[in-house]
Structure formats: structure tokens, C-alpha cells
Amino acid sequence: MAHKVFVTRKIPQEGIDMLTSKFDVSIWQSEYPPTKNEIIEMAADCQGLITLLSDPVDSELIAKLPNLRVIAQYAVGYDNIDVKEASKRGILITNTPGVLTETTADLTWALILATARRIAEADRYVRNGKWHVAWGPQLLLGIDIHGATLGIVGMGRIGQAVARRARGFDMRVLYHSRSRNDDVAAMENQMNLKPAKLETLLRESDIVSLHVPLTSETYHLIGKKEIEMMKQGAILINTSRGQVVNQEALVEALSTGKLGGAGIDVFREEPIKEDDPLLDLENVVLVPHIGSASRKTRTTMSVMCARNVIAALNNEKPPNIVNPEVF
Ligand code: DGY
């Protein structure tokens, strides 16, 4: 009998076609995510599960799916999955690393440019009929990106891709990272890039961009104390995870002008609540967690997920395994 696979949202068809040619596949049809209980119900007798970062794959859910052999996350981050619990039960976890690196770095740069040059605010200004004077000598002044100092917190694949793009803007780049691998060392020789303590990076950067995974160590890595260390009028960009930043401290710093602006793709709560104070601020650019959202990348992610599930259910090592000790 064919193995059963449940996919918690409609992901691009390419991956689905690969799965349906081998397995009995069911797909959640609503654009709203299934609740934990709905996932448990839909995946009750499944061997494979494809999840999104908004799915709560906790110990309760895992315990209620006794036939599960693989959970394939449709994202690189997997902080929504209790990996320890899954490993204890012999369930393989996979993700989609690499493919979304450049796409997320592109989005990071879109936010850097939009925030520093107040693009979203300027667009609202024009659309809302406020543009009455042909050219304003002091209208919507932003900060220069070229020649500025960019601080990158987390120098993994995405952090490195963001740093590479800074070359075109003649920036000085500081980075803070747990590790310094050969690729990063080579980049240090090729461009104006240096390692720095977090405090130095925060004190010296005009723009700070976050690229760390969410873990117990990075939860609220940027809070009131860290924001106070930042330059007056500096810009914060977050395309990592919302909980890496203390959102209350961020809102306060943006309201008082301590921070000049923020470009945010990821939030404490997603979707953002209607009464979230971030929505009242002019100096923020807010996008709905679209770091990896290019057609090509999302399609490749679906193919990677399918390959991971197919390998796991064929008793082969999945190409993107997160908990290899279980295999
Ligand atoms: C990821 O893959 O973790 C990203 O946040 C998705 O855009």
C-alpha cells in the first residue's frame, strides 16, 4: 500500500506532482493554516508530513501521529518543530537550506533601500495627494547607503549573501557571528569586512541587519539595552525571526527617534494584529514574511521537500536532513 503524506498548505505543484506519483497525498485546501487538531486529524495515519513555519509541530502533535517517519519543513528555519521530541521518536526532520539564501538576501536589500530612502513613506505621500510642491529641498530626506557601515548579525549563508551585495555600495561591513568559516575569511580579504563584538557592531553601524536562527540564545537578542547602544537614527532590518527582537523596545525606539527606521519581514506574531503599534509608525517598512517569496525559489523549495520525503520513505538519507543522528 502506498505511503500517506499530508501537506499543510498548497505549495507549488512541481513538488506535489513528484509526491503524488509515489504516494497517497492529501493537501490542506484553505488559505488559512490548519490548527494543531486539524493537522492531527488530517495526518492521523500518514508516514510523511510537509509543514510550514506557522504550523505548531510540538510534542503533543508529534505524539498523536504514531506512523510518522518524516516531517519535511517547507522553509530553512524550523523553530516551530520540536526536533528533540521528533528525534526521540525516530522521526526524520528535513528543511530547505541554500535555495532561499540569495532570494532572502535580495529582500533584505529591498528593505535596506526602502527604509533608508523612505520609499514606502514617499509612495504613500504621493498617493495620498500630499505632493503639492514640485521639488522640496528638505522633502523626505533619508540616509545614504553608499559609504555607510552595515552591521550583519549572523554570518551564515544569508548573512554572507547580504554582505556580498554591500560591495556594490562601497560599504564598510561589520559582522558578528559564532563562527568564522573559510568562506567568510576569504570575503574579509576581498572586501571591507571585519568581525566585531555585538556591542561594537551595534555602536558603529548605520544599518544593522539580523540573520540568526531563533533559538533560546537569540530570543530577544536585540532588546532595549542593545538598541540603546545603536547610533542615533540607525536603521534595523529583520528578515530572520520576529522574536529575535523585543518588539516593544523597537516600537519605543522608533517612536522617540532613537532609531531612524526599521525594515521588517518577520514579527512577534504573524499575521500582525490590527492594533499592533508598529502599524502606526511612518518610519517602518513592513512586509508579510516574504523573504523567500520568488516564484523560482518557492518552486525549488517544493521540489526539495518532495525529494526529502521520497528519500525518507524509501529508507534513504534525505538530502536536507536536520537530525542525521536519527537516520
Ligand atoms: C525560512 O525559510 O525560514 C524563511 O523564513 C521563509 O521565508
The answer as to whether 234 is a domain residue is yes
The answer as to whether 152 is a domain residue is yes
Q: Tell me the residue range of the domain where 170 lies.
A: 101-286
**How close is the Cα of 298 to the center of ligand 1, in Å?**
10
The answer as to whether 121 is a domain residue is yes
Q: Is the CB of 240 under 6 A from ligand 1?
A: no
- What is the rounded radius of gyration, in angstroms, for the C-alpha atoms of the chain? 21
Report pLDDT for 321. 98
Same domain, 93 and 215: no
Q: What is the pTM of this model?
A: 0.96
> Which candidate in 241, 268, 298, 307 is catalytic?
241
Same domain, 116 and 258: yes
C-alpha cell at 226: 542593545
Report pLDDT for 1. 85
Q: What's the domain count of the chain?
A: 2
147, 170 in Cβ contact below 8 A? yes
* 34 to 135, 235, 298, 325: CA distances (angstroms): 51, 36, 20, 30
Beta bridge partners of 238: 210, 264
**How close is the Cα of 243 to the center of ligand 1, in Å?**
14
> Which candidate in 14, 85, 188, 270 is catalytic?
270
The answer as to whether 322 is a domain residue is no
Contacts of 73 (CB under 8 A, 6+ apart): 50, 51, 52, 53, 80, 81, 93, 94, 95, 96, 305, 322
Averages of pLDDT over each 10 residues, the chain, 327 residues: 96 98 98 97 98 97 98 97 98 97 98 98 98 96 98 97 98 94 94 97 98 97 98 98 98 98 98 98 98 98 98 98 97
pLDDT tens digits, residue range 179-190? 888 999 999 999
Report pLDDT for 14. 98
Same domain, 149 and 255: yes
Alpha helices per DSSP H over 95-238: 101-116, 119-127, 157-166, 182-190, 198-204, 224-229
Domain of residue 64, CATH code: 3.40.50.720
The answer as to whether 323 is a domain residue is no
Report pLDDT for 82. 98
Same domain, 153 and 206: yes
Q: Is the CB of 173 under 6 A from ligand 1?
A: no
Beta bridge partners of 192: none
